[in-house]
Structure 1
Amino acid sequence: MQKAGPTRKHPVLRHAPLALIVLIAAIGAFTLRDYLSFETLRENREALLAYRDAHFAMMVAVFIGVYVLIVAFSLPGAAVASVTGGFLFGIAWGTTFNVVAASLGAIAIFQAARMGLGQSLAAKMEASDGTLKRIKDGLNENEISVLFLLRLVPAVPFFVANLLPALVGVKFRNFVLTTVLGIIPGALVFTWIGVGLGEVFDRGGSPDLSLLWEPQVIGPLLGLSALAALPIVLKAFRQKKGI
């Protein structure tokens, strides 16, 4: 008697997680924008600080949980959450919690996308013989460098850097590695802004996120981006010269 082969998930079930993310993201874009804001943080700052002092571990768990949901469902407020990490926990712990939460959320949306649309799209790219196949092969050869570039180039939206790798079939371990390491520079900047947030609120101001585009900040990020791109450039040069 022959054993039955492995069962395949129904297409609707495979696409359900990503469809749910898209639906919640669309709803959240219209309903949560006014709540996940610096103004909300300003109004609740004393209550948050008091709760942190009384229940530190619980505050860490709630903070990470909320941040994961924001990233996983591409909700508005990721920048607010990152700055809040610095405001509540300081530069060292704030950066750590920001990286952990953002990485977990990114992994969740990556897995949801890869489970559904990513599987079929990657299979089509692999089976094709034209441009799509060359793109897929080129990505496989430079996977780590390309993933680091997606994380380090400030112009690439965070949700794009989470979804695109899943849709072209990158290795999960490479995605996790480049996500955790690649978001550290940006997390440090947002956390640093959050550390001084109390003084900004006391002056009646709002956080100035334009700091991200100051030369002393954008310069190192672009330098890291160039470093990530260097292996791709060298490999292309060697192939052209036949080295």
Structure 2
Amino acid sequence: MSENTTKTSAKRLLPLLVILAVAVIGAFTLRDHLNFEALSENREALTAFRDTNFVLAALIFIAVYIVIVAFSLPGATIATLTGGFLFGVFPGALFNITAATIGAMIIFLAAKWGLGEKLAAKMDGSDGAVKRIKDGIDENQWSMLFLIRLVPAVPFFVANLIPALVGVSLWRFAVSTFLGIIPGGVVYTSVGAGLGEVFDRGETPNLGIIFEPHILLPILGLCALAALPVLLKTLSKKKA
């Protein structure tokens, strides 16, 4: 490998390395600041600023949310609750979902530019099981992308990296991310919209609400719907 090639590879990895470094630093320095207690303590100041500067408050909120997601900083759930608390279910959910999608796209592009393109090319040029896995993902990209977004057990950061490493296009990633996080985004935004009463009672919100049957079952239904094309293709290949 030539010196120029090595330098080019290092430059391509730089954005991803910066994200990882900031994520590690943020995990230790911000975890005690971006939490429910901080939101509770500053709720009056936040609502007062929103009431007098709604557009600016919305823009600042979206920008902060993008940074939190793009650098995988702690506090994404609190940010979603804040969106509901400050702006209601609508437009709060729209702000949350849009910001989360943009932040996810930043991670996706950094990973794709630094590692994804080379890895996808190697997988395409390989033989055996690796090639079959890559082909299977390529044949069912939309279904797989929606599945990893809809399944609550898949960490958001992981769902941002996997598509980048298997050669998914930015367009497909952006659309599937935006649509795929709507169910969870609306649920947590609605929880945030009711935080005023929770604060008044001196309680904490139920962040496990997404795993309650009346919420989880519809989401699992969407997962099954997303997986249906994969199942049908598999069955048709077996018959053939």
Partner of 1:10: 8
Partner of 1:4: none
Match of 1:145 among 118, 143, 161: 143
Q: How far apart in 2 are the matches of 1:101 and 1:74?
A: 13
- AA in 1 matched with 2:214: Q
**Aligned-pair RMSD on alpha carbons?**
1.1
Provide the residue aligned with 2:133 in structure 1: 135
Quote the offset at 1:171 in angstroms: 1.7
- In the TM superposition, what is the alpha-carbon distance from 1:120 to its structure 2 partner? 1.5
Counterpart-to-counterpart distance in 1, 2:161 and 2:41? 34
Aligned to 2:160: 162
Query: Which of 102, 108, 111 is the matching residue for 1:110?
Result: 108
2:45 aligned residue: 47
Q: How many Å apart are 1:204 and its aligned residue?
A: 0.6
Alignment of 1:65-214 (within 5 A): 65-214=63-212
Tell me the distance in 2 between the aligned counterparts of 1:13 and 1:187.
Answer: 35
% identical equivalent positions = 59
Using the size of structure 1 for normalisation, the TM-score is 0.95
Partner of 1:229: 227
Equivalent AA in structure 1 for residue 52 of structure 2: A
Residue 73 of structure 2: SS of its match in structure 1? coil
Structure 2, unaligned runs of 5 or more:
none
Q: Secondary structure at the match of 2:167?
A: coil
Separation of aligned partners in 2, 1:136 and 1:212: 32
Secondary structure in structure 2 of the residue aligned to 1:62? helix
User: Quick check: 139-148 or 162-171, which moved more?
Assistant: 162-171
In 1, distance between residues paired with 2:209 and 2:114? 38
CA distance in 2, matches of 1:167, 1:87: 36
Instruction: Quote the offset at 1:90 in angstroms.
Output: 0.5
* Counterpart Cα distance in 1 of 2:231 and 2:74: 35
What is the distance in 1 between the residues matched to 2:98 and 2:175? Answer: 12
State the shift of 1:131 in Å.
1.2
Q: Distance in 1 between matches of 2:223 and 2:85?
A: 28
Query: Superposition pairs for residues 12-51 of structure 1, below 5 Å?
Result: 12-51=10-49
Q: Deviations over 1:77-111 (max 9, x none)?
A: 11000111100000110010001100000000000
Unaligned regions of 5+ residues in structure 1, if any? Answer: 1-6
